Structure 1
Amino acid sequence: MERIGILLADLFDEREFLYPYYRLWEAGYTPVVIGLEAEAYRAKSGLTWEAEVAAREAPPLAGLIIPGGFAPDYLRRSPEVLALVRKVAGEGKPLGAICHGPWVLVSAGLVRGRRVTGFFSIRDDLENAGGLYQEEGVVVDGLLVTAQGPKDLPAFMKAFLGLLKG
């Protein structure tokens, strides 16, 4: 089975992690939970989940998802996470980010000239990084899928899985 990475750090949005995690399994992919380190992380709700591998040790991936919450603010500070995100994008693999997840794309230098969306509070960040902010629930630009929040999870995962299937 092809492996799809899901990034995790403290204060992740559990809905934006769990929904993609189980949808990937259901679609026949193997989700690989990737953290700053291979350790347990706490969601905003208090739920904890173990990252299987640190970003610097991530295996080859067929795609990558960045859930929201406050976690992206920690993830975007990690050179190893940014290198992984750039690698996946550079290999022409699907990349998805929801809610505050596009913050990581900003720090990785991947939004300039791209149609993107995200939680309304990061609109300025996306536009200041050269992104073309769209007031839509889900936006697909090439192999990049972004979404505004949990209500958009079904459409977000439908778009992401569609890109994985080519």
Structure 2
Amino acid sequence: MLSRPSKKTPLSSMSSMLGRTIILLFLLLIITGCSHEHDNNNIINKSTSNNMNNKGIILMIIAPNNFRDEEFFIPKRLFEENYFKVVVASSTKKPTSMFGKSVVVDMNLSQALDLLTNNKNNNNNDSDVVAVVFPGGSGVPVYYDNEIIKNIVVNAYNNNKVIGAICLAPIILAKAGVLEGRQATVWDHSFITTLQSYGAVYKKEGVVVDGNVVTSNSPKHAEEFANAILSLLE
């Protein structure tokens, strides 16, 4: 004899539906919890990232056109990897490198001078300009007789900031009068004569450190140049 199929009572159907609902709610809570945990991690990472640049400001001043790529991008990366905030200034809003890369700067030259002037007595390390760096390139000579540039160099020098210049840029320091009696290097040929004419002691080396001044003679020494600056900032 065939047995009759059992009939589900309304109570058993309700229990089954309730069980499925509880399971769905439980899964939803797990998914929601994971999502919130992910969001919190993002917030922490962003906050940590914002607080990483807390050793001070390194002001990098690039030529309006034809600054040398390696002499800007390599030091900038190394400075940021070592938890310094890099502020980029130029006489134009969007300078172009020798290899055609454009950079949107943070400020113009007058603002860069104001930044130096306004924080020279600042005791807050997070916002203190600790170094001024001039990448080189064929466009740098436009700064040789720029009065704002000279004021920036002299201000930084008088307030014991680390000053760096590479390739053609050491002439900026020489013309500002801060290399007299100091050892320095520069790109070759007539630039060596110019450097010496302002009282610098020329050294035929890739990177030269004299006191708080770092000079370098070519893009192939960009990493060594940046590391020398970082060593002075330790």
TM-score under structure 1 normalisation? 0.94
Post-superposition shift, 1:71? Answer: 2.7
Identity %: 28
> Contact 2:109–2:149 at 8 Å: present in 1 too?
yes
> Contact 1:36–1:81 at 8 Å: present in 2 too?
no
Report the equivalent of 2:106: 52
Matched, 1:12 2:77: no
Which residue type is aligned with residue 105 of structure 1?
A: L
**3-state SS in 1 of match to 2:60:** strand
Higher mean C-alpha displacement, 53-62 vs 16-25:
53-62
Matched, 1:73 2:141: yes
Q: d(CA) in 2 for partners of 1:136 and 1:86? A: 25
How do 1:24-39 and structure 2 match up within 5 A? 24-37=79-92, 39=93
Matched, 1:145 2:211: no
How do 1:13-162 and structure 2 match up within 5 A? 13-37=68-92, 39-58=93-112, 59-60=115-116, 61-121=129-189, 122-162=191-231
Q: d(CA) in 2 for partners of 1:124 and 1:52? A: 34
Structure 2 unmatched runs, 5+? 1-53, 117-128
Q: Note the aligned Cα RMSD (angstroms).
A: 1.1
> Contact 2:174–2:195 at 8 Å: present in 1 too?
yes
Post-superposition shift, 1:92? Answer: 0.4
TM-score under structure 2 normalisation? 0.68
Which residue type is aligned with residue 99 of structure 2?
A: S
Point out the structure with the larger strand share: 1
Point out the structure with the larger helix share: 2
Structure 1 unmatched runs, 5+? none
Q: How many equivalent pairs are there? A: 164
**3-state SS in 1 of match to 2:103:** strand
**3-state SS in 1 of match to 2:83:** coil
* 1:63-119 deviation digits (Å, cap 9, x = unpaired): 011111023211223211111111111100100111101011122111111100011
